[in-house]
A and B are shown apart, each in its own frame.
Chain A
C-alpha cells in the first residue's frame, strides 16, 4: 500500500478547508476552532493544526490532501506538513488584495521547503469582487511558467481541474529529470 500527499496552503480564510472538502471521500478531519482574536474574526472558525482529506485511487494507492492552518501563529506546522509532498497548491482569496502579499510569502516559503511543482488557485472566482486571474498574476508577480487557475473551492469540478493541472505539472517535471 502506497500513500502520496499533496499540500493545500494559502493565507487565512483563502478557502483551503473548502477546497479539500470538495474532493475528499472522507469527512475532512479538520481541526477547526472558534476564532479567538478580534482581528481575524471575519469568519466563525479556522483551521488550527491541519485539514486532512483522502482520495483512494485503487487497492494499493491512496492520495492524502493536507491543508495548512492559515493563521500565522501556526506556521510551525508548515514544514512538518510539507514533508515528502508530491506538489502543493497555493490558494488565494481573489477578493482580498490585502492577503496577496502574504500569499506570495507563503509560496516562497513552501518552495524553499521543497522544490516540488506547485500551482496557484485564484479562489472565490464566483464572487463579484474577485480579481481576474490575469490581474492576480501581475499582483503576485508570478513567473509566466507557473500555472495560475481560476477556482471556486466549493465546486468539485473546479477543484478537480486544479488538482489535475498540478498532476500534469508533476508528470512533466518527472519527465524532465
Chain B
C-alpha cells in the first residue's frame, strides 16, 4: 500500500518519522501551497531534495547557496558541456575553484533548507514512491533525519506562533513615536535594516518581503522582533480596500447616528 494522503491528517513531522523508523528508500512528493517538492531517501537517510522548478543541478545549487555568482555559473555551464554533476564537481575541485567541502556543504544546506520549508506546509497532498531515486548523475548526501526533525518541529512551532501574532501580511508597518526612542540608537543587523528601510504605512509587509526577496518565515521573524522591541506597529495601509462586507452603518446623517448610539446607551444602562 502506497503512503499517500494530505498533510492536514499526517504532518511532515510524522512523515519524516515514519521514513526514518521504517528506513524507507524512495522519493516523497509533496504539493505545497505554491509549489511542489521532491525529497529522496535511502534507507531512512535524507539524500536529495528538489523544489518546484528550481535549478537543482550542482551549478544551480552553488549559485543559490552563494558559493558562486550567477556570472561564474554561466561560464561554468558554457564549458561543462554535458558533464554529469559528479564529473563537474571533480572538475571544479581540480581547477581550484572550490574545495570538496564547499561543494558538499552547499548541497547539504540546499537540501536541508527545502526540508525545513516543508515543515511550514500544513495542507497539501503527499505521496511516497518506493525505490524512486534522483537521477544517477546527481551528487547525493546521507543525512540523519533525527536532528532535522527536531529542528524542523521547532521551526514549525515558531512559524505557528508568528502566524498567530502576525496573521495578515497585507497590513503595513509604521514607526511608533515615542519620546526618547530613536531607531538609529538600536542595534539592528543587516537583514533587519533592510526591512526597516522599507517601513512606511504605504508598503504592505508582503511588499517589503518581496522587495527583500525574503520568505514568509524570515519577514515574520524580523517584523515580530521589531514589534516586540516596541519600535513599530501594524497599521492598515491607506489604499487597502475594505472587504465589501465591512461597510459601516448605513450612511445616515451624523445626528441620526449619534441619536441611535445614545438610545443604545440608555437601553443598556437600564438593563
Contact = CB atoms under 8 A, between A and B. Distances in A.
Interface of A: 2, 4, 23, 55-58, 61, 63, 79-80, 82-84, 86, 101-102, 104-105, 108-109, 111-116, 141, 143, 156, 160, 163-164, 167-168, 170-171, 174-175, 177
B233 interface: yes
A57 B249 CA distance: 17
Contacts of A113: 242-243, 245-246
Interface of B: 161, 163-168, 170-171, 227, 230, 233-234, 236, 240, 242-243, 245-249, 254, 257-258, 260-265, 267-269, 271
Given A83-B245, A84-B247, A113-B243, A160 B263 contact: no
**What is the predominant secondary structure among interface residues of chain A facing chain B?**
helix
Contacts of B258: 171, 174-175
Contact of B262 (A23, A104, A156, A171): A171
A105 B167 CA distance: 6
A82 B246 contact: yes
Contacts of A115: 236, 242, 246
Contact of B271 (A23, A80, A102, A114): A23
Contact of A156 (B163, B171, B233, B271): B271
B157 to A, nearest CB: 12
A61 B260 contact: yes
Nearest to B164: A105
Given A105-B165, A108-B168, A108-B171, A167 B268 contact: yes
Contacts of B166: 105, 108
8 contacts: A2-B260, A61-B260, A80-B245, A101-B164, A109-B168, A111-B236, A113-B242, A115-B246
Contact of A114 (B165, B171, B248, B265): B248
Most chain A CB within 10 A, of B234, B257, B264, B269, is at B264
Contacts of A111: 236
Contacts of A175: 254, 258
Given A83-B245, A84-B248, A101-B164, A63 B264 contact: yes
A63 B249 CA distance: 13
Contacts of A156: 271
Given A80-B245, A116-B248, A174-B254, A61 B264 contact: yes
A30 to B, nearest CB: 20
Nearest to B168: A112
